[in-house]
Structure 1
Amino acid sequence: MNSNVLKSLVMKLAVSAVVALAAGAGPAVAAEPLKMAVTNWADVLAVANVAKYALETNLKQPVQFVQADIGIQYQGVARGDLDIMVGGWLPVTHAAYYTKYKNDMDDVGIIYTGGKNGWAVPAYIPEAQLSSIADLEKADVKSKLNGTVQGIEPGGGLMQASEKTIKAYDLNGYNLQSSSEAGMLAGVQRAYQSKQWIVATVWSPHWLFQKWQMRYLKDPKGTLGGEEQVHAFASKQFASKFPRADVFFKHFKLTLADVEAIEFEGNATNDYATAAKKFVDAHPEKLKAWLQQ
């Protein structure tokens, strides 16, 4: 056998071996999905979609959204059924949940500061007539509002604080109407269309302040809380199961303006995933900071 034939045979055998190995290897095993708790609140959808896009695109970490009410989110993270939640409001809004579950979960970090809860009214309502929660006691104000405070989902921190507020201000005869974020927003839209009076439970950041002129009512008794910080809370197993994602969330920071911009785009297009992608792609300096390992 001459040297050329031998070289050819060796080459064919080598190629065959590579093909056989490749065929036997099969597809790569996908990473375990990270279960992220979400609820259909604009701020949570904005933050969660940004984190999901950054993790999946840059760290190749699949993220699975799990819809759950806020109380179930805390319980699920504490039990390890959920890996992480990104809408933990402290020190007031979720104080009861935090106190109950804090020993069974990890505070991964503050995502943004400057959050605020309150009751708000359309700007066309004269401030001379209604500027404070205390003004709701006035008979004419109560009549124009039909004795109703438009709320969101029952059981949430804002609704719990609103129930305390009604008692603290002696707003006898007022009904805190449970609904949802979508129901609250629909109520505000209907009121604006006919310039009716409405008072709604709201929070910042939220895109509604960009769509409509709204103002918070003063809260002299402070029952709705002051400035809030929004935290990511993770299961006790999170750091060992998802070490790179754990480091990511320790660096994951947004501003109030960031969240509101993503919310506004997401609501306008009804596509929070695309809104999040556009934001991340437009802010490479933020992404670089988040991806420090």
Structure 2
Amino acid sequence: MTLKPDFPRTIAASCLALGVAATASTAMAQEKGVVEIPYVEWADAIASTNVMRVVLEEAGYEVETTSVSAAAMWQSVASGDQDAFVAAWLPSTHEAYLAEVEDQVVDLGPNLEGTRIGLMVPEYVEIDSISELNAHAERFDGEIIGIDPGAGIMSTTEDAVEAYDLKLELVEGSDATMTAALGNAIRQNEWIVVTGWTPHWMEGRWDLKYLEDPKGVYGGEEGIHTVVRKGLKEDMPGAYAILDNFHWTTDQVAELMVMNQEGGDPYENAKRWVEENRDIVESWMQ
């Protein structure tokens, strides 16, 4: 005689096992602690922050991310209210922020190298230098399209306006409003100048160029650094080690930024990227 499986009992056992596993996972996260990460709504920062969230969660930590201004990002980690961030543009763009709190934070070094900032225009715009902007101010509607006022690139651009005695107004906005204005201008083949940086998905979408900066206001090549609060290494050594090991390339972050631009939730996209790049992720978790 063939005995039929006891389905109710089997289902109950499976549910119990899943419940135990979920409880164990929650308990592990509670035991390891909560890692709080502030970030700014920049394409690269969104990508980096969500990748770190996924990796830290896989390591057993609970992770809370908070969207803030650049100034608040630095201050919240310096005060110890937040634990770490992965979006410090150094040595130039965030130099002033670091100078205010350098005794209260730990700079773990670059997680991304080969970055830069400056003024960008579509390739078809017939100038090549910031020093040429005034002669064509009307073609640009007398405006430089910027992002959020707390961003380091905005204060640097204010310095550029003064250094070059530009007759163009720096317009505040956000990453989203800047790229929307850029896309609209390109569709109509109009001249536009924006605050730009590398890496950014817009470089893969459109043919753009940096305007030459003969006065060197925007500095040279930079890196994006990971910065953590004092005491994190002692409080959560595992999380500290992962943050310290975190390092990827401009091509790798660009891949995730394009995924985010094409749609979907950045957190879910980060999960997919992590799953597809296990060899890279494993090197951060050693």
Shift, 1:124, TM fit: 2.1
Shift, 1:189, TM fit: 1.2
The corresponding residue for 2:280 is: 286
Instruction: Flag structure 2 segments of 5+ consecutive residues without an equivalent.
Output: 1-19
Matched, 1:28 2:23: no
The corresponding residue for 1:95 is: 95
Counterpart of 1:63, as a letter, is V
In 1: Cα distance, 2:222 partner to 2:259 partner? 23
Instruction: Flag structure 1 segments of 5+ consecutive residues without an equivalent.
Output: 1-21
1:221 aligns to what SS in structure 2? coil
Q: How does 1:1-293 map to 2 (within 5 A)?
A: 28=27, 30-31=29-30, 32-57=33-58, 59-126=59-126, 130-138=127-135, 141-171=136-166, 173-292=167-286
Shift, 1:237, TM fit: 2.2
1:103 aligns to what SS in structure 2? coil
Shift, 1:197, TM fit: 0.8
Query: Could you tell me the percent identity over the aligned residues?
Result: 32
For the Cα contact (< 8 Å) 1:37–1:82, is it kept in 2? Answer: yes
- Once the two structures are superposed, what CA deviation does each residue of 1:244-270 show, in whole Å capped at 9, x if it has no partner? 010111111100111111111111114
In 1: Cα distance, 2:275 partner to 2:215 partner? 43
For the Cα contact (< 8 Å) 2:134–2:168, is it kept in 1? Answer: no
Shift, 1:39, TM fit: 1.4
For the Cα contact (< 8 Å) 1:266–1:274, is it kept in 2? Answer: no
- Once the two structures are superposed, what CA deviation does each residue of 1:178-208 show, in whole Å capped at 9, x if it has no partner? 1111110111011012111100001000000
Larger-Rg structure: 1
Aligned residue pairs: how many? 262
Shift, 1:81, TM fit: 0.5
Pair 242,279 (structure 1): closer, same or farther in 2 beyond 3 Å: same
For the Cα contact (< 8 Å) 2:28–2:60, is it kept in 1? Answer: no
Shift, 1:212, TM fit: 1.1
In 2: Cα distance, 1:43 partner to 1:217 partner? 21
Counterpart of 1:281, as a letter, is E
In 2: Cα distance, 1:28 partner to 1:282 partner? 28
In 2: Cα distance, 1:206 partner to 1:254 partner? 15
> What is the TM-score normalised by the length of structure 1?
0.86
For the Cα contact (< 8 Å) 2:34–2:62, is it kept in 1? Answer: yes
For the Cα contact (< 8 Å) 2:128–2:211, is it kept in 1? Answer: yes
Shift, 1:271, TM fit: 2.1
1:88 aligns to what SS in structure 2? strand
For the Cα contact (< 8 Å) 1:37–1:85, is it kept in 2? Answer: yes
In 1: Cα distance, 2:138 partner to 2:67 partner? 38
2:233 aligns to what SS in structure 1? helix
For the Cα contact (< 8 Å) 1:109–1:249, is it kept in 2? Answer: no
Counterpart of 1:137, as a letter, is N
> What is the TM-score normalised by the length of structure 2?
0.88
For the Cα contact (< 8 Å) 1:266–1:273, is it kept in 2? Answer: no
